[in-house]
């Protein structure tokens, strides 16, 4: 029988998942289109590999097992799966059509809505993926400044200008690799050393899990101004989540350009480039950034309904409350089990659970916690990507599941049985490192 969201079950039966994987592994390189959804992030042989359905914050895998989801499609599903007003907007738009031969009024309506809620959005363009808009922003900055050098911090997508800085850069021309340099977060000294009169832009995720030092973002902005470089915020994670107006609103710093995707349309594929009108104006002539599906109407309808729901339900405030409860609850449980080397940190809406190596291999620890959470109906990859649909009952269930999982982790560490307690192959590192 399939598992439910309940405590103390056997590990789920995942035979359908495994059968699909057998077929995929022979046909689809890597087996997945999104690395973070692929099997490297889950205990192989224990965790499900394919989801069939989602509602609210719950998902059902292809074997019928039910889980509370703490990943939420790796960020986009900020209201919950199947949020009624968003689904209604998509269904209504579907009656009229998906994509057309001329522009659609939603392009104007959603751009105006974004101008109202996102600081500094004097001008707005749409595309489909996060790396579409980070790459467009970098191209704009290069065109605006007449310079080539890019300084970046965080993950920004698969395109040459960024991925050439990582270990997975085969196929990226050497000429391109040399143009982007990586700077460490919260380290103004290093950044100032790298920022010069050849720098077109500084692009960063304004916050990942570490909080910006007081004034870090403000000084960064002033330094960019002084060097004649543009400041670009990659708000894939902070956008519409850290606050309705994203990190720019939360930290009260307006970048020259800001890039959004993920939460903007509750799961429909849409990305947004916004910012200074005098920079964005280059898109009218010199800088080319156009794509067939940029004005696709189902996603725009979803974005309109999503932003309105985020605003009307004050979703960022709710995520702040439930996320704080989960972070504090996790850290209290870690203390209860004598596990001072693991903690939850980050923004309440998007937190990370980390394990120090002092106690044992962090990936094995993470794998064991993941495996044990699966017994209690919780799907987890070490993150709290919260949605509006995670209510009090779900947060309490997750904390009860953490209590049991951490007790197993503590016992495994005490008896040096970390690897022996695993029923499958451990998870691999998250691909976010730049070196």
The contact set with ligand PLP (CB under 6 A) reads 129-131, 134, 154-157, 205, 234, 236-237, 261
Residue 387 Cβ vs ligand PLP, minimum distance, rounded to whole Å = 17
Residue 264 is classified by DSSP as: G
DSSP letters spanning 343-385: EEEEETTEEEEEE-GGGS-HHHHHHHHHHHHHHTTEE-SSEEE
**Buried (b) or exposed (e) across 165-204, using 16+ Cβ within 10 A?**
bbeeeeebeeebeebbebbebeebeebeeebeeebbbbbb
Other C-beta atoms closer than 10 Å to the C-beta of 332 total 12
Token pair, residue 78, equals: 């900020």
Q: b/e per residue, 130-147, with b = 16+ CB within 10 A? A: bbbbbbbbbbbbbbbbeb
Q: How far is the CB of 159 from ligand PLP (least distance, A)?
A: 8
Q: How far is the CB of 92 from ligand PLP (least distance, A)?
A: 26
Residue 14 token pair: 């995942």
Task: Provide the minimum distance between the beta carbon of 405 and ligand PLP in the complex, in angstroms, as a whole number.
Answer: 26
CB of 279 to ligand PLP, least distance (A): 19
Backbone angles phi, psi at 354, to 5 degrees: -120, 155
Q: Is 61 helix (H, G, I), strand (E, B) or coil?
A: strand
Measure the CA–CA gap between 230 and 226, rounded to whole angstroms. 10
Give residue number: closest CB to ligand PLP. 130
Comparison of 31 and 228: residue with beta carbon closer to ligand PLP: 31
Q: For residues 131 and 319, which CB has a smaller minimum distance to ligand PLP in the complex?
A: 131
CB of 431 to ligand PLP, least distance (A): 10
Nearest approach in angstroms of CB 350 to ligand PLP is 10
238 or 325: CB nearest ligand PLP? 238
Compute the least distance from the CB of residue 191 to ligand PLP, in Å: 18
Angstrom distance (rounded) from CA 169 to CA 34: 17
Q: Give whichever of 156 and 276 is closer to ligand PLP, judged by the CB atom.
A: 156
List C-alpha distances in Å: 128 to 136, 209, 233, 262: 12, 25, 18, 10
| Among candidate residues 321, 375, 365, the one with its CA nearest the CA of residue 342 | 365
Q: Which is nearer to ligand PLP, 302 or 333 (CB)?
A: 302
Closer residue to ligand PLP, CB minimum distance, 264 or 395 = 264
3-class secondary-structure state, position 402 = helix
Question: Where do runs of H (alpha helix) occur along 228-314?
Answer: 246-250, 277-280, 297-312
Q: Please report how close the Cβ of residue 262 comes to ligand PLP at its closest, in angstroms.
A: 7
* Residue with Cβ nearer ligand PLP (50 or 158): 158
Least Cβ distance, residue 185 to ligand PLP (angstroms): 12
What does the alpha-carbon distance between residue 289 and residue 275 come to, in Å, rounded to a whole number?
Answer: 15
Helix (H, G, I), strand (E, B) or coil at 190: helix
Query: How many beta carbons lie within 10 A of that of residue 6, not counting itself?
Result: 12
By C-beta, is 261 or 371 nearer to ligand PLP?
A: 261
To the nearest whole angstrom, how small is the minimum distance from the Cβ of residue 153 to ligand PLP?
10
The contacts of residue 351 (CB under 8 Å, 6+ apart) are 209, 323, 326, 327, 344, 345, 383, 384
Q: What angle do CA 411, 414, 419 make, to 5 degrees?
A: 75
């Amino acid at each position: 029988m399939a598992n439910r969201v309940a405590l103390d079950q056997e590990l789920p039966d995942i035979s359908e998942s495994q059968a699909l994987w057998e077929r995929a592994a022979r046909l689809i390189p890597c087996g997945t289109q999104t690395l973070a959804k692929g099997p490297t992030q889950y205990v192989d042989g224990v965790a499900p590999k394919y989801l069939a359905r989602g509602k609210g914050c719950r998902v059902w895998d292809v074997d019928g097992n039910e889980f509370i989801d703490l990943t939420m499609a790796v960020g986009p599903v900020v209201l919950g799966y199947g949020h009624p007003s968003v689904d209604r907007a998509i269904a209504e738009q579907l009656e009229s059509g998906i994509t057309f031969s001329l522009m659609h009024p939603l392009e104007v309506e959603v751009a105006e809505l974004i101008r109202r809620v996102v600081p500094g959005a004097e001008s707005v363009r749409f595309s489909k993926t996060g790396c579409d808009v980070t790459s467009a922003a970098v191209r704009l900055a290069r065109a605006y400044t007449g310079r080539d050098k890019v300084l970046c911090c965080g993950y920004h997508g698969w395109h040459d200008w960024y991925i050439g800085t990582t270990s997975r850069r085969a196929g990226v021309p050497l000429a391109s690799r040399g143009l982007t340099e990586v700077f460490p977060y919260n380290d103004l000294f290093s950044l100032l050393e790298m920022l010069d009169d050849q720098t077109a832009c500084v692009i960063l995720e304004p916050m990942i899990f570490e909080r910006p030092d007081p004034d870090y973002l403000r000084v960064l902005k002033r330094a960019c101004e002084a060097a004649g470089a543009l400041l670009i915020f990659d708000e894939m994670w902070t956008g519409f989540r850290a606050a309705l107006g994203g990190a720019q609103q939360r930290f009260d710093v307006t970048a020259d350009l800001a890039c959004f995707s993920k939460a903007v349309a509750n799961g429909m594929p849409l990305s947004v480039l916004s910012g200074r009108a005098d920079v964005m104006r280059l898109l009218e002539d010199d800088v080319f950034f156009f794509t067939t599906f940029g004005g696709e109407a189902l996603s725009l309808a979803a974005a309109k309904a999503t932003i309105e729901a985020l605003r009307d339900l004050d979703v960022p405030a709710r995520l702040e409350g439930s996320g704080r409860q989960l972070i504090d609850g996790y850290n209290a449980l870690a203390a209860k089990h004598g596990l001072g080397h693991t903690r939850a940190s980050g923004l309440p809406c998007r937190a990370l659970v980390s394990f120090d190596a002092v106690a044992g291999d962090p990936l094995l620890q993470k794998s064991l916690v993941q495996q044990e959470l699966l017994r209690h109906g919780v799907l987890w990859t070490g993150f709290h990507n919260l949605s509006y649909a995670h209510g009090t009952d779900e947060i309490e269930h997750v904390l009860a599941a953490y209590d049991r999982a951490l007790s197993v982790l503590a016992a495994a560490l005490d008896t040096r049985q970390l690897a022996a307690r695993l029923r499958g192959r451990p998870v691999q590192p998250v691909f976010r490192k730049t070196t």
